[in-house]
Amino acid sequence: MRLYPPFVNQVPIRASEDVLSVNWLKLTITHEQTGKQRYHYRFLFKAKYQ
């Protein structure tokens, strides 16, 4: 199996000044021999203020 975990930090939810920023993660698991996708998940986490 292979894991492909792309992620993006500090993504704004909407275009305004009082916007909430989140961290976004996508996880896709595929079978290494067949290439068939087995699982696909997306997660949003609240980002910390800096």
Number of domains composing the chain: 1
> How high is the pLDDT of residue 2?
57
Looking at per-residue confidence, does 27 or 48 come out higher? 27
pLDDT for the residue numbered 14: 82
DSSP 13: S
What is the H or E stretch that residue 31 is in? none
Taking the C-alpha atoms of residue 13 and residue 3, their distance in angstroms, rounded to an integer, is 26
Give residue-wise pLDDT tens across range 31-45. Answer: 989 989 998 888 888
Q: Can you give the residue range of the structural domain that contains 28?
A: 2-46
SS (H, E, C) the chain: CEEECCEEEEEECCCCCCCCEEEEEEEEEECCCCCCEEEEEEEEEECCCC
pLDDT of residue 5: 60
